[in-house]
Amino acid sequence: MNDANRQDELEKLLGTGNTKRRIRPAWLVAAVVALALVAAAAYFLLRDGSGAATARYVTAPVTRGELVVRVSATGNLQPLNQVEVGSELSGTIQTVLVDDNDPVKKGQVLARLDMSKLNDAIAKSKAALAAAEARVQQSAATVREAGANLQRLRDVAKLSGGKVPSQAELETAEATLDRARADQASAKAAVTEARAQLSSDETNLAKASIRSPIDGVVLSRKVEPGQTVAASLQAPVLFVLAEDLTDMELQVDVDEADVGQVRPGQPTTFKVDAYPDRQYPATISRVGFGSQLKSGVVSYLTVLRVRNADLSLRPGMTATAEITTARRENALLVPDAALRYAPPAPAAALPGPSRGLVGMLLPRPPQPVQPKKAAKGGTRQVWVLREGAPAEIQVVAGLSDGQRTEITGGELEPGMEVITEAIRTPK
């Protein structure tokens, strides 16, 4: 074998032959790509782990001021006395004398039914009464006649010594007198009955004129002339009246979580959609003990007295009331976010300068948040910055309006800055 052949065999064994004539295997290319991805991931993970994140704290000042605690509730305006006026009689409406918004006086006629049948009934009752009274007079004459006949027979028996008339004739005369007296009593009872019927018909005639039971205003008219009224099963509502719209009440539903703070006499303001820029004063007059369930929410009906001198408020308007349940003057105040803030717990030290390749590829576990300490004696914690680090201060919290909380004890002073939020940013 010559030297050239030996050189080719050696290159085949060592793999150093001409690369132009050889094709690289596919697994080698895949391995190179995978190593490049691992290297890139390790670079970013090492860069993230090598630089600790810094915290930027958002603070708010401790202030002094007025704290007003309010409870919101929604309801509707109603008149103090609202009356539905109907008809006890069936018939046809002949005339309607009032319309919506008309003021009315007590006893004023609002509408009239057709009175033709009622007048006929009265005439019939009067005739029946006259006939009954005539029967009374007739029975009285019969009583007198029977009495005179009995007296005559008794006189004859006395003069004849009891020979005439016979005992049977005397007993018959006495029975006739008794029947006449009974007929007279029956006739008198018939007179009383006829008078009662006449009075009832006259009452029905009066009820045919539908009158207002109160001084007030017509809120709603629900009848027209010619309309038939059927009152046999249920009295129909013809008019809705309100007694006095200058004094009204606002009925609101107070949530069960807030009802413990609401009491009669507390001052209140409310708004209606018709006048969004105007606030109306009101005073709580009653807080209901009975609960009501609406859409799965338990609430308690609370009634507010409202003065409506200018009549700008109308029944049925939806109003949103703000009930003032507490007021603090010159209170020490902090944002509610300061009481909710707690700094994260310090991260545990990593073992060694590197977590290794597998550790770098796995995601870091989330850092635990330092739990708040249990409150002792009603105390809570706020945090302030001292030398750039959060420092805890124990305080006693009071009332809150949902945004600020009153501090009634502790080392806080006006002007101090309390931490409300921490924003972590990488270096």
Range with lowest mean pLDDT among 285-294, 364-373, 413-422 = 364-373
Are 401 and 387 in contact, with CB atoms under 8 Å apart?
no
Residue 30's identity, in one-letter code, is A
pLDDT tens-digit map of 125-165: 999 999 999 999 999 999 999 999 999 999 998 898 888 89
- The whole-number average pLDDT for the span 94-111 is 95
pLDDT at 295: 87
Q: At residue 351, does pLDDT exceed 50?
A: no
Q: At residue 350, does pLDDT exceed 70?
A: no
Q: At residue 346, does pLDDT exceed 80?
A: no
Nearest to 229, CA basis, from 238, 220, 221: 238
pLDDT at 357: 45
Task: Enter the pTM of the model.
Answer: 0.61
Q: At residue 51, does pLDDT exceed 90?
A: no
Q: At residue 50, does pLDDT exceed 50?
A: no
Q: Residue 61: which pLDDT band, with cuts at 50, 70 and 90? A: very high
Q: At residue 21, does pLDDT exceed 60?
A: no
- The whole-number average pLDDT for the span 5-17 is 54
Q: How far apart are CA 321 and CA 279, in angstroms?
A: 10
Domain ranges in the chain are 3-49, 54-66+332-425, 70-80+248-326, 115-207
Contacts of 235 (CB under 8 A, 6+ apart): 86, 87, 88
φ, ψ at 376 (rounded to 5°)? -110, 125
- The whole-number average pLDDT for the span 230-236 is 78
Q: Residue 43: which pLDDT band, with cuts at 50, 70 and 90? A: low
pLDDT at 402: 83
Residue 159, CA distances (Å) to 52, 151, 167, 170, 334 in order: 151, 13, 15, 14, 126
The per-residue pLDDT of the chain, averaged, comes to 84
Q: Which two tokens stand for residue 236?
A: 């129909």
Q: Residue 343: which pLDDT band, with cuts at 50, 70 and 90? A: confident
Are 313 and 248 in contact, with CB atoms under 8 Å apart?
yes
Q: How far apart are CA 159 and CA 147, in angstroms?
A: 19
Q: At residue 79, does pLDDT exceed 50?
A: yes
Are 400 and 333 in contact, with CB atoms under 8 Å apart?
no
Q: Residue 422: which pLDDT band, with cuts at 50, 70 and 90? A: confident
Q: At residue 415, does pLDDT exceed 70?
A: yes
Are 251 and 79 in contact, with CB atoms under 8 Å apart?
no
Range with lowest mean pLDDT among 5-19, 65-79, 175-189 = 5-19
Nearest to 299, CA basis, from 250, 269, 258, 249: 258
pLDDT at 327: 87
CATH number assigned to the domain covering 70-80+248-326: 2.40.30.170
- The whole-number average pLDDT for the span 409-416 is 88
> How many whole angstroms from its chain centre is CA 358?
62
pLDDT above 70 as % of the chain: 79
- The whole-number average pLDDT for the span 396-415 is 89
* Bigger pLDDT: 249 vs 368: 249
* Bigger pLDDT: 374 vs 104: 104
- The whole-number average pLDDT for the span 71-93 is 93
Architecture category of domain 54-66+332-425 in CATH: Beta Barrel (2.40)
pLDDT tens-digit map of 172-230: 999 999 999 999 999 999 999 999 999 999 999 999 999 999 999 999 999 999 999 98
pLDDT at 9: 60
